[in-house]
Amino acid sequence: MLYLKFITLIFVVILELVSADVTSISECPKLAARTSAAKDVTDLRIDDIQIIAGLGDSLMAGFVMMGIPEGKELTSILKLDFIREYRGNSYIMGGDTDALTLANFIKYYNPNVYGSSTSSHLLSLCHGPLCIPPLTLCIKAHFSSPEEYSTAWKMITIQIGSNDQCASCNPLISHYATPEAYGKYVEAAIQRIQKEIPKTVVNLTKDIGCRCLNTLSSTLNMIRYYIAYNKQLQTIAEKYRGEPGGMFAVMYNPVEIDILSFPIDAFRLTGIKCSSKNLQSRRL
């Protein structure tokens, strides 16, 4: 099955880094070269992926994840670090050297994979005329022909929902953030991907819990939403799961985290918005 053949190969690397006596993915064994191309979505390996992309919110973009260093508050403010995105260290799409990211794990097995983010820049905004040119044009321009792009296997990781959870605390907009509405938003995006992007695997990553700070009832409501959001993702993944002969699939990756194993520095307040965004917590 797709889950066993593909996701296991990706995330077993993380387990190996923990269980084996290694400190870097570079110490993990390479995969033997393929003798033939993947025949369908259920036959994919990590090194078959040629294009990667990510859809998400500020967590995905690495917003303020480096925080404000103690004693350097004025310098950081002058440099506008409080509105900077550190996309090169994004735990999903980061491509900076030595960054512990899914993109770099994939790159270890396929050095030619395209799409990871690098470096950092000021917060970007996409609304009406403020949007940058379509990224699809940038991606297609990387390939020598439309056929090469169409036949390349792609993986799009979606990790989103924390802002929706925060919105559930506001009675004026909470109806936009119900689990049912969230599920419709995510599925609409997946249906568009399926229609417009050939040979694609969508990797749904478990939504990260967020906590309201105003009342206990709001906090309890967000916990319910957190559970319900992830049930929506699981339902969607089951609906679009990979089948033999198929060229599109959706999978759900729970990424369970043992929060008690976090070093205390991962919980520092600097760089926190709705949920923790600092570098330590991203890596963990």
- Whether residue 32 is contained in a domain is answered as no
| Dihedral sign (CA 45, 201, 208, 231) | negative
**Count: domains in the chain:** 1
The pLDDT value given to residue 110? 96
Count Cβ atoms below 10 Å from residue 126 Cβ, excluding itself.
7
- Whether residue 202 is contained in a domain is answered as yes
C-alpha dist (Å) from residue 280 to 75, 88, 104, 156, 266: 22, 15, 17, 24, 5
- Whether residue 18 is contained in a domain is answered as no
Strand, helix or coil for residue 94: strand
The pLDDT value given to residue 25? 82
Q: Is 99 exposed, middle or buried (0-12, 13-18, 19+ CB in 10 A)?
A: buried
- Whether residue 136 is contained in a domain is answered as yes
Site of tokens 């670090």? 81
- Whether residue 31 is contained in a domain is answered as no
Check which CATH number belongs to the domain holding 215 and give it.
3.40.50
- Whether residue 7 is contained in a domain is answered as no
Site of tokens 């905004």? 125
Count Cβ atoms below 10 Å from residue 46 Cβ, excluding itself.
22
- Whether residue 236 is contained in a domain is answered as yes
Site of tokens 């929060």? 259
Provide the whole-model pTM: 0.80
The pLDDT value given to residue 170? 84
The pLDDT value given to residue 143? 73
The pLDDT value given to residue 248? 97
Q: Which long-range contacts (CB under 8 A, 24 or more apart) does 173-180 make?
A: 177/225, 179/225, 179/228, 179/229, 179/231, 179/232, 180/232
- Whether residue 155 is contained in a domain is answered as yes
Cα 8 to Cα 44: distance, rounded to the nearest angstrom:
11
Report residues of the chain scoring pLDDT below 70. Answer: 1-22, 69-76, 78-79, 128, 132-140, 142, 209-214, 255-284
Site of tokens 């959001």? 229
Q: Which domain holds residue 221?
A: 38-275
